[in-house]
Amino acid sequence: MKQIQIDINEQFRHALDILEGSDRSIFITGRAGTGKSTLLNYFRNTTQKKVAVLAPTGVAALNVKGQTIHSFFRFKPGITPDRVKKLRSDNSESIYRKLDIIVIDEISMVRADLLDCVDRFLRLNGPQADKPFGGIQMAFIGDLYQLPPVVTGEEKEVFQSLYETPYFYGARVFDSFDMEFVELERIYRQHDEQFISLLNGIRNNSVTEEGLELLNRRYQPEFEPSSDEFYVCLTTTNRLAEEINAKRLAGLKVRLYTFTGSIEGDFGQEYLPTKIDLQVKVGSQIMMLNNDTEGRWVNGSIGKITDITQNGKGEDIVVAELADGDEVEITPFTWEIFRFFVEGGGLQSEVIGTFTQHPLMLAWAVTIHKGQGKTFDRVIIDIGSGTFAHGQMYVALSRCTTLNGIVLKKPALKKHIWTNYQVMDFLTKYQYRKAEQLLPTDGKIEVIRKAIENKASLEIVYLKPSDEKTTRVVRPEAVGEMEYRGKKYLGMQAFCLKRNEERTFRIDRILEIEVLDS
C-alpha cells in the first residue's frame, strides 16, 4: 500500500480510529482548509477494508477516483425511494454484500431523498436487510456550511411536504440511525488568526461590524490586475465565468490553438473536467486540473501560457509559468473513471472510461462551485446582485490564503452572508448530544461542584449557539437551575479568566471539561 505523509493530528487520529478500527458510521466535517480531502485520501490508500468512495457529481467523483452515487447504485435520474428495486439476479456475491464501508464525499450537496434511496437499496441488496444502509458502515465527509444540495423550483413544494430539510441529515433513515461526529479544526490553508476568525464569522453568520469593516478594506471597484499577478475572479454562474474568459482570450491578439481531447469507453459528459475542444492562446491564464506526479503543480495551481510547441511524439506541449515562478511543460493527461466490483472475495476497481486532454482550463474567471476544494493566493470576488446561495460567500473568501490576496468588486454587506440556520441547529444539537453521551449532565455538574468546593479552575470547551467552539478557563462559583427571559435551564455561574468577568454558561453547551488546579 502507498504511504502518504500527512500531519496526523488528534482529530485525524480519532477519525481514522473510527473508520478503520470500528464498524461505527461517522460524519467528518470541518471548515475549509482543514484537510478533509487529505484524510479521505490517506484512509483510502492505507485501509484494510473493502471501501467504495462515492460523490454526488461526476467531477467530484473524478477527483476522488470514485463513482457517482447514481452510477454505483444504478440509479436513474429522478430516482425516488419507492422506485428503488431489489436486484433481479442472485446477489449473494454482489459488491453490495461484500463492502465493509461506503464513503460519500461532498456530503453537503447530497439531498435527503437521495440518501433515503441509498438506504433503501442497501436494505434490499446489502448484507443485513433489517439495518440502516444494509448494515454497512457509512462515512459522510463535507462541510454543510459550504455549497448546498440543489432543489429546483418545481421540486420545492413537493420536497418540503416530505422533508424538513434538503440536507442529507434530513433523510428518514436518520430516525433510526446514529453516527459518530468528528470535526477537523486545525486550518492548514490560512495562518493569519484575524483572517481565520473573520472567515469563521462569515461561515456561521456571526460576523461583527468590525469584521465586515475589515473585509471591506479589500473593496477596490476599479481594480484591474496585470497579467503577471495571477488573480482569479470567482463568479456565481458559469455564464459569467465563460463571458470573462472569452473576453480576455479575445483580447490576446495572437494565434488561437484548439486542443481536441479524446474519450474512450464509458466517460459521460458530467465527468468532463475541462472542454473536449480546449481553446487557448499564449498569454492565457490557466488553472491546472490534476495533481502532477512529479509534484510540479497541484489541482488548482494557477499559471500563464508562455509558449506552445510540440515534442518528438508530435504531442502539443503547453509551456506555462506558474504563479510560484516555476516554468513547466504540460502534456496531455488521462483521467480515468472507475467501477467497483467483487472478484475472488475481494473488492476491486476497473477503468471503464478515459478522457485525455491537457489538464487545464482558462482561469481568468472560475465559478465558486469549481473553486470548491481549491486554494488560491489572489482572488477577485464580484458579489453581483447578491444572489448567492447558502455558503457561497464563505466558499469564495476561504479559497484565498490571505486577506490581502482578496479584492472585492462590490462591498460585502450582511445580506450577502447567508447561513442556513437549520444546518447550524443540526450541528449544535448533534454535538450537544454527543457530549452528553461522553459525559452526562450529572457528571458535568459533579465535576463543577467539586471544583467549587476545592476552589479549582476548570478548562471548558464551550459551543456557542452559532456553532462556534471556544476554550475558556473559568473559576466556577455556582451550578444549578437558572433562568433567562422566563426560561429555565441548567447553568454554571463562573468568573471567566479569559474575559476577566462574571459569565453564565449553559451546561448542555459544555462539550469538554477538565479540572486544572486546586
Q: How far apart (Å, rounded) are the C-alpha atoms in residues 323 and 135?
A: 48
What are the residues facing 248 on neighbouring strands?
A: none
- The per-residue pLDDT for 384 is 64
- Among the residue ranges 125-129, 169-173, 346-350, 423-427, the one predicted with the least confidence is 346-350
Secondary structure (3-state) at 497: coil
Q: Is 283 exposed, middle or buried (0-12, 13-18, 19+ CB in 10 A)?
A: middle
Q: Is the pLDDT of residue 4 over 60?
A: no
Q: Where are the domains of the chain?
A: 10-184, 193-335+360-416, 439-515
pLDDT digit string, tens, across residues 359-394: 999 999 999 888 888 889 999 998 765 555 667 888
pTM summary value = 0.85
Percent of the chain's residues with pLDDT above 70: 96
Task: Give the pLDDT band of residue 1 (cuts 50, 70, 90).
Answer: very low
- The per-residue pLDDT for 3 is 38
Q: Is 210 exposed, middle or buried (0-12, 13-18, 19+ CB in 10 A)?
A: exposed
The residue-averaged pLDDT of 271-291 equals 96
CB atoms within 10 A of CB 491: 20
Query: Do 460 and 444 meet the contact criterion of CB atoms below 8 Å apart?
Result: no
Nearest to 351 by CA among 65, 104, 48: 65
CB atoms within 10 A of CB 214: 17
Task: Give the pLDDT band of residue 518 (cuts 50, 70, 90).
Answer: low
Instruction: Note the CATH architecture for domain 10-184.
Output: 3-Layer(aba) Sandwich (3.40)
Query: Do 320 and 73 meet the contact criterion of CB atoms below 8 Å apart?
Result: no
Task: Give the pLDDT band of residue 475 (cuts 50, 70, 90).
Answer: very high
Nearest to 515 by CA among 471, 475, 473, 457: 457
Percent of the chain's residues with pLDDT above 90: 61
Q: Is 337 exposed, middle or buried (0-12, 13-18, 19+ CB in 10 A)?
A: buried
Q: Is the pLDDT of residue 276 over 80?
A: yes
Q: How many CA atoms within 13 Å lie on the side-chain side of 89?
A: 5
Task: Tell me 77's DSSP state.
Answer: T
Query: Do 378 and 405 meet the contact criterion of CB atoms below 8 Å apart?
Result: yes
- The per-residue pLDDT for 418 is 78
Instruction: Give Cα 128 distance to the centre of its chain.
Output: 30
Q: Is the pLDDT of residue 279 over 60?
A: yes
pLDDT digit string, tens, across residues 178-194: 899 999 988 888 888 89
Secondary structure (3-state) at 333: strand
Query: Do 310 and 316 meet the contact criterion of CB atoms below 8 Å apart?
Result: yes
Rounded to the nearest integer, the mean pLDDT of the chain is 90
Which is more confident, 19 or 435? 19
Task: Give the pLDDT band of residue 163 (cuts 50, 70, 90).
Answer: very high
Query: Do 474 and 484 meet the contact criterion of CB atoms below 8 Å apart?
Result: no
Could you tell me which CATH class the domain 439-515 is placed in?
mainly beta
Q: Is the pLDDT of residue 125 over 80?
A: yes
